[in-house]
């Protein structure tokens, strides 16, 4: 009897030890994944801020005060990888660092930057999270561009008179001929670049083991068929070149 009890006790201890070891492995694995995620997000924040610096060093201004900012590209990629909350985190972090370092627009510029980026990146990330395919990415980016344009029309109507110290009626005359096409153009340009960069960037992050092979990989999976990348690449490059030329011409660069 005692022998049987001792045998059962040993089995119980062995089972508990196994469960304890498995739990420890899970905790270590979870900590490792969190560290990788934080590292990736920090890299994305750094890349976004570098693009902000470049936009200040080589400004492309429309109507004398609207500045094209490509950092939304990195923010959307972060949202595609980890979800809309990460896009929000990157947007707020980069905008705040810009505010305390190189911005000349003060708190108003900070608010407008966050609203613009969040309305684009978070909407796109939210949609893509539910449909992680190539078509889902295109729909998400288009929806993000439209959402940003609509939101910025409202906020430019509210904020721009305070920033420029002009009557609101004067800003009303600028909404359709200036703010509307500028934000649509900005959204189309940033969305197209995101679509072109997302696959190679995800591949690089996977090879560096910073993200799991299945994370944010929906649009990449669509590229397995040799015909699909070409069908995507040609119109995307055409849209990219067209938007870039229109923006440069509008800004008086060319």
Q: What is the Rg, in whole angstroms, of the alpha carbon atoms belonging to the chain?
A: 24
DSSP 169-183: HHHHHHIIIIIHHHH
Coil/strand/helix, residue 67: strand
Residue 10 within any structural domain of the chain: no
Average pLDDT, the chain: 85
Task: Work out the pLDDT band at 163, boundaries 50, 70, 90.
Answer: confident
Counted domains in the chain: 1
- Distance CA(46)–CA(92), nearest Å, equals 13
Q: 62 phi and psi, to 5 degrees?
A: -115, 135
- Tell me if 100 is assigned to some domain: yes
Q: Is 57 part of any domain?
A: yes
| Domain extent at residue 174 | 30-211+228-250
pTM to 2 decimal places: 0.83
Query: Residue 239: which CATH number?
Result: 1.10.1760.20
Cα–Cα nearest to 134, from 201, 216, 190, 218: 218
Please indicate, yes or no, if residue 22 is contained in any of the structural domains. no
Which of 31-35, 81-85, 197-201 has the weakest average pLDDT? Answer: 31-35
More confident residue, 126 or 14: 126
């Amino acid at each position: 009897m005692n022998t049987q009890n001792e045998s059962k006790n040993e089995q119980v201890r062995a089972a508990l030890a196994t469960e304890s070891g498995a739990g420890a492995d899970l905790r270590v694995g979870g900590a490792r994944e969190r560290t990788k995620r934080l590292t990736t997000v920090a890299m994305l924040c750094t890349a976004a801020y570098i693009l902000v610096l470049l936009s200040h060093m080589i400004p492309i201004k429309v109507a004398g005060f609207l500045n094209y900012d490509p950092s939304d590209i990195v923010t959307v990629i972060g949202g595609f990888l980890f979800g809309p909350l990460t896009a929000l985190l990157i947007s707020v972090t980069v905008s705040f660092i810009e505010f305390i370092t190189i911005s000349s627009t003060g708190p108003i510029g900070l608010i407008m930057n966050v609203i613009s980026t969040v309305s684009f990146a978070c909407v796109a990330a939210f949609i893509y999270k539910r449909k992680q395919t190539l078509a889902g990415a295109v729909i998400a980016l288009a929806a993000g561009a439209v959402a940003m344009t609509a939101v910025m029309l409202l906020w430019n109507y509210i904020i721009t008179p305070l920033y420029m110290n002009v009557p609101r009626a004067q800003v009303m005359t600028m909404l359709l001929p200036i703010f509307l096409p500028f934000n649509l153009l900005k959204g189309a340009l940033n969305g197209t670049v995101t679509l072109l960069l997302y696959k190679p960037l995800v591949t690089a992050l996977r090879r560096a083991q910073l993200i799991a092979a299945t994370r944010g990989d929906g649009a990449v999976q669509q590229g397995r068929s040799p015909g699909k990348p070409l069908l995507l690449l040609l119109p995307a490059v055409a849209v990219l070149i067209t938007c870039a030329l229109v923006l440069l011409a509008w800004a008086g660069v060319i």
